[in-house]
Structure 1
Amino acid sequence: MSLLLDPPIRQEYEYIPSDHAPRTLAVAAPPLQRAWQQAWLRKSFILLLLAAVWQAAAVWTDNDLLLPTFLQTAQAFIAGIASGELLDRVRASLAILLQGYAVGVLAAFVLTALAASTRIGRDLLETLTSMFNPLPAIALLPLALLWFGLGRASLIFVIVHAVLWPLALGAYAGFQSVPDTLRMAGRNYGLRGLRLVLHILVPAALPSILSGLKIGWAFAWRTLIAAELVFGTTAGQGGLGWYIFQNRNELYTDKVFAGLAAVILIGLLVENVVFRPLESLTIRRWGMQK
């Protein structure tokens, strides 16, 4: 009976492909298609297309006071760089931005670490973010001028407000998404409080933290430009926003667009030189994002 139920045994053999068998050859993509697969080339093409549309619209408008051409703006930008005036304005703005951004990141980390480790810290963070996150940072500028005067401290105050709440919310949301198994593993190793946050929660919540850093940077940059447009000077030296406002008053529209171009270029540089390599070195390297 067992002989009937046993499956038949097939003889093993080795298959040797014939030399005359058809083979499929990998066909190389055309050079243009390979070049188009490069992200930087596609983005450069988009920028060139936007510049062409800008140039055509300015030529059609035929009013330099309302809309200078792209070439006029490029000339004003190069002239501002050559004279050093535009570089000085950018340097003054970035110095204040880095100070306010650093203080905001530190304050957000303290609040989030407190919220992740204690119940009262969680209640404090939820209450403060509900109160102050919907409040535009530029709306606090009159109070900042009243409290700190016309100077660097007022700008730093509004920048900290712009950075603190989106970063704290992003980091806290990342902490909340950490699996309980990782938390229990950390506790089994004796990690508590700040050590648990640094060794377990921060690496696991890194995508949300990085997203909060990017959003906080964008909020801080545009808040600084808006604040400088309002009162501008800091310790006798105006920033990039004041450069735009001053040239608008003097009807140098090409310089106004050159200042706006500087704002955009700095944003692109920070995104592609700072945050994108940071994503490649951390999130994608650890397999947390495809």
Structure 2
Amino acid sequence: MTHALTPPLRPEREYVLPAVTARDVQRSLPWATQLMQSDFFRRLLVVLACLLLWEVGARLHNNDLLLPSVRQTALALWDGMASGELLVKTRISLAILLQAYVGGVFVAFVLTALAVSTRTGRDVLATLTAMFNPLPAIALLPLALLWFGLGQGSLIFVLVHSVVWPMALNTFAGFQAVPETLRMTGRNYGLKGLPFVLQILVPAALPAILTGLKIGWAFAWRTLIAAELVFGASSGKGGLGWYIFQNRNELQTDRVFAGLVMVIAIGLLVEGLIFRTVERLTVRRWGMQR
């Protein structure tokens, strides 16, 4: 009689593997790969490439009056900041821009909220954007000077115009793209009017809203500099635009470039520190944007 062979039983063991995070995976990569995966490093390479092209062009042209070198511009930028003149001009421009930007965003939100709530509001928004969105904001400056005089009111008026329409268009497009299931969920909870917009539409359309905010900021910033070139020349004072215009008249090209560098630097700081931080904490964290 044969007996079936039974294999020996081994005691069960449970192996708990350590949790592996994305940061751990990134640390395991070679340092060169880690650098190339950094957004900051790649953007820094682009800036350095632009500076290199600038320096090569300045050396080939060899005319400080038309194209100063990077070193001359850096010295002029440092002198302007050390004397406080450039910082004062920057503060004046940013103070005006902030007032106009907040006002433009508020007006755009009101128009968009009305557009998604009523048919009349939708018709009003569509008509106004078709009429005024193609109109350059700087073209309204002569009228603004007649209506509001030589003061900040004229600049704020044209800046609000430059912010409202791109902000309203992007926000309304985002609201229109909200899935019907989310809309039905809000209606099931009894949400109507402004609560429906704030609690359902705004979170779902946040990527489009952030895009409108960035476009509105860019339009307002460049419109302000262009408007100050005219407004500053008329009133004898102004912000960064007037600083650039005044130094151009005095043929101090290095200071003109220093003002332009300040304009670019502020744009990069706002984009990198404010908008990207908001995107990282909201739409990217929620999986709404890659």
TM-score, normalised via structure 2 length = 0.89
Q: Deviations over 1:132-179 (max 9, x none)?
A: 000000010110011001110000000000000000000000111111
Match of 2:146 in 1: 146
Structure 1: which amino acid aligns with 2:110? V
Displacement of 1:188 after TM fit?
1.1
Distance 2:95 2:29 in 1: 47
- Match of residue 64 from structure 2: 64
Structure 1 residues 107-146: aligned runs within 5 Å: 107-146=107-146
**1:233 CA displacement:** 6.4
How many angstroms apart in 2 are the aligned matches of 1:144 and 1:191? 41
Instruction: Give the corresponding residue for 2:187.
Output: 187
State the shift of 1:49 in Å.
Answer: 1.9
Q: How many residues align?
A: 269
Counterpart in 2 of 1:240? 240
Partner of 1:3: none
**Whole-angstrom distance in 1 between the partners of 2:282 and 2:179:** 19
Report the Cα distance in structure 1 between the residues aligned to 2:185 and 2:33, rounded to whole angstroms. 49
Q: How does 1:15-94 map to 2 (within 5 A)?
A: 28-94=28-94
Query: Does the C-alpha gap of structure 1 residues 68 and 236 become closer, same or farther in structure 2, counting only changes over 3 Å?
Result: closer
The Cα shift of 1:28 comes to 4.9
Q: Distance in 2 between matches of 1:64 and 1:91?
A: 29
Cross-structure match for 1:279: 279
Q: How far apart are the structure 1 equivalents of 2:28 and 2:210?
A: 38
Q: Please give the per-residue CA displacement for 1:180-239, whole angstroms capped at 9, x wherever unaligned.
A: 111111111111111111111111111110100000000000000000011226986410
Provide the rounded CA distance (Å) in 2 between the counterparts of 1:215 and 1:28: 38
> Match of 1:144, as an amino acid?
A
Whole-Å separation in 1 of the counterparts to 2:132 and 2:204:
27
TM-score (norm 1): 0.89
Assess if the C-alpha contact under 8 Å between 1:152 and 1:235 holds in 2. Answer: no
Alignment check: 8 A CA contact 1:73 1:258 kept: yes
Higher mean Cα deviation, 228-237 or 203-212?
A: 228-237
User: How far 1:59 sits from its partner (Å)?
Assistant: 1.1
The C-alpha deviation readout for 1:241-274, integer Å capped at 9, x for no partner, is: 0000000000000000000000000000000000
* In structure 2, distance between residues paired with 1:35 and 1:205: 33
SS at match of 1:231: helix
Q: 2-side partners of 1:249 and 1:44: how far apart?
A: 33
Query: Alignment RMSD, CA only?
Result: 1.9
**Corresponding residue for residue 176 of structure 1:** 176
**Cα distance in 2, alignment partners of residues 234 and 262 from structure 1:** 23
Cα distance in 1 for partners of 2:230, 2:282 equals 39
What's the % identity of the aligned pairs? Answer: 66
- Does the CA-based 8 Å contact 1:152-1:234 persist in structure 2? no
> CA separation of 1:281/1:28 partners in 2, compared to 1, >3 Å: closer, same or farther?
closer
Match status 1:162 vs 2:162: yes
In the alignment, the residues of structure 1 paired with residue 215 and residue 34 of structure 2 have an alpha-carbon distance, to the nearest angstrom, of: 33
Q: What residue ranges of structure 2 are gaps of 5+ in the alignment?
A: 1-8, 13-24
